[in-house]
Structure 1
Amino acid sequence: MLYATLKLIHLLALIVWIGGMVFAHFFLRPAAQTLPPALRVPLMLGVLQRFFAAIGAAVVLVLGTGLWMIGRVAKEAVQSGGQFSMPLSWTVMATLGLVMMAIFGHIRFALFKRLQRAAAASDWAAGGQALASIRTWVVVNLWIGVAIVAVVRLA
């Protein structure tokens, strides 16, 4: 029961993360593009601030539950006298998941700081550049997330 609950938490956190990237990239961004920079940059700053807080929590949940589930399966294998060999799909998922977390860290702690500074200075051009950089890395993370889902579901 605990394993199933942790797996559910793991999946729900990933749905928030990947679904949020889909929403932001394909729906929010195009609508916000119609606004002048003086409105668009503060809007995106506020949205991203809230989204990144949720993703920060999602990262902690995904990492914690993922490590626990792998550890639990490894422990059960060893306790039953067997040997644990992590499936290739789990290895790909864990590796790419860590890459996604590193990219999120770059977005949150480097690129988002640029956006915050630009918005505070009312430098809409710099804000637009920061948003473009964030968008590029969000798209990379989105593709990695979709690849992880494909690998796990097709394995």
Structure 2
Amino acid sequence: MLYASLKTLHLLAIIVWIGGMVFAHFFLRPSLGMFEPAVRVRLMHAVLGRFFSAVLAAIAVTLVSGLWMIGNVAKQVVQAGGHFSMPLEWTVMATLGIVMMLIFGHIRFSLYKRLSRAAQAADWSAGAAALAQIRLWVLINLGLGVLVVLVTLLGLPR
């Protein structure tokens, strides 16, 4: 029951993160084209601030639940007298997940700070430049997230 609950939390956290990237990149951002730069930068700053707080929570849930689930399976195998060898799909999932977390750290703690400074200074061109960098890294993270989902669901060719 605990394993199933943690797996559910793990998946929900990932849905929040990947779903939020899809929404922001493919729906919110293109819809803001009709607004002047000042409105676009301020709105994206406010939305991203809230979203990035949710992603930080999602990362914590994903990391803790993922490590617990791997550890639990390894413990059960060893207690049954076996030798635990993590499946390749799990290794890919964990590795790409850590890469995504590092990329998010760059987005949140470097690029978003640039956006915050630009919004505070009413420097709309600097804000647009920061948003362009955020958009690029979010697209990379989105691609990695989709790859993780595909590897996890479909496996890897053997």
Shorter chain as normaliser: what TM range?
over 0.9
Point out where structure 2 has 5 or more consecutive residues left out of the alignment.
none
Shift of 1:154: 0.6
Point out where structure 1 has 5 or more consecutive residues left out of the alignment.
none
Residue 14 (structure 2) pairs with residue 14 (structure 1): yes
| Alignment partner, residue 74 of structure 1 | 74
Shift of 1:45: 0.3
Shift of 1:97: 0.2
Q: Which one-letter code corresponds to 1:63 in the other structure? A: L
Determine helix, strand or coil for the equivalent of 1:81.
coil
Determine helix, strand or coil for the equivalent of 2:77.
helix
Count of aligned pairs between the two proteins: 155
So what's the TM-score if we normalise by structure 2?
A: 0.97
Distance 1:32 1:63 in 2: 33
| Alignment partner, residue 108 of structure 2 | 108
| Alignment partner, residue 24 of structure 1 | 24
Determine helix, strand or coil for the equivalent of 1:75.
helix
Shift of 1:4: 0.2
| Alignment partner, residue 132 of structure 1 | 132
Determine helix, strand or coil for the equivalent of 2:85.
coil
| Alignment partner, residue 141 of structure 1 | 141
Q: Which one-letter code corresponds to 2:46 in the other structure? A: G
Distance 1:42 1:149 in 2: 33
Shift of 1:33: 1.9
| Alignment partner, residue 55 of structure 1 | 55
Residues 94-152 of structure 1: CA deviation (Å, up to 9, x unaligned): 00000000000000000000000000000000000000000000000000000000001
Residues 18-37 of structure 1: CA deviation (Å, up to 9, x unaligned): 00000000000001122110
Residues 22-63 of structure 1: CA deviation (Å, up to 9, x unaligned): 000000000112211011000000000000000000000000
Name the % identity: 66
| Alignment partner, residue 123 of structure 1 | 123
Determine helix, strand or coil for the equivalent of 2:34.
coil
